[in-house]
Amino acid sequence: MALFIILSCVFGLLLCIVKPFHTNNVHIISGWFCKVAKILGVKLELKYHDDPKNIGPAVYVANHQNNYDLFTLPAMVPENCVSLGKKSLKWIPFFGQLYWLSGNILIDRANRSKAAGTISKSAEKIKQKGLSVWMFPEGTRSYGRGLLPFKTGAFHTAMSADVPVVPVCMSTTHKTIKLNRWDNGTIYLEMLAPIYLDKDVSARDHASHVHQIMAAKITELDAQVRNK
């Protein structure tokens, strides 16, 4: 698995050197990384409410659980989409450079003014380039604590860019994947219907509403895992 990840980073870097910051780099590289799920003994079951191509630019919001997200959630990343990640990612050898050259957006969460500027930059990318942005509204990995409270950045971005929020939900993976096991079961991922945000409603209220929708869906997906 480690060899596959290293090779993916190397080939990804070569792609990004040839086409730095290209709008489809993230989608292509995501296609490579989600293949690791098979190596981990995980089957991914994907479900879409709408074809992302019919949605157009949007802000995708997903639950963020642990490091294995890197090999599961990419299966849902649409074309012409970049993600928002913490600034410290760029210091990870190979992966950090790959993440940056792919065209993803880095945010300094420790500096509020810089973070606000990054949110504004994300909205501009959506409007000017027709891109979608993938965000984790919890702001951190949950590590088995359930769906954590949402920050409002994703919702400010969507409202500023005048695009919908598209929730992406994944069944719980905490302590379900073991490297010494060939069969680690099925993980369910579902892309829900786009949610168009009323600008007369606060970003905080939108965040709470979407949190409720996603929490209910994750509970439903977890039930599917138990009943399989």
100 is a domain residue: no
- Rounded CA-CA distance 155/120 in Å is 12
Look over the chain and give the mean of its residue pLDDT values, rounded to a whole number.
90
Q: How many CB atoms lie within 10 A of CB 101?
A: 20
Look at residue 97 in the predicted model and tell me its pLDDT.
84
Q: Let me know if residue 124 belongs to a domain.
A: yes
pTM: 0.91
DSSP letter, residue 198? P
Q: Percent of the chain at pLDDT above 70?
A: 96
Establish if 174 belongs to a structural domain: yes
Distance between CA 117 and CA 219 in Å, rounded? 35
Amino acid 107 reads: I
Mean pLDDT calculated for residue range 26-40: 90
Q: How many independent structural domains does the chain possess? A: 1
Is 212 among the domain residues? yes
Average pLDDT over residues 92-109: 84
Residue 14 lies in a domain: no
Distance CA 121, CA 119 (A): 5
**Residue 90, in any domain of the structure:** no
Note the pLDDT of residue 164.
98
Place of tokens 């990054």: 118
Instruction: Give mean pLDDT, residues 203-214.
Output: 99
**pLDDT at residue 58 in the model:** 98
Q: What is the pLDDT of residue 3?
A: 63
pLDDT at residue 1 greater than cutoff 60: no
Q: 128 lies in which domain range?
A: 42-82+109-227
Count of H-run helices and E-run strands, the chain = 9, 7
Residue 208 located in a structural domain: yes
On whether residue 6 sits in a domain, the answer given is: no
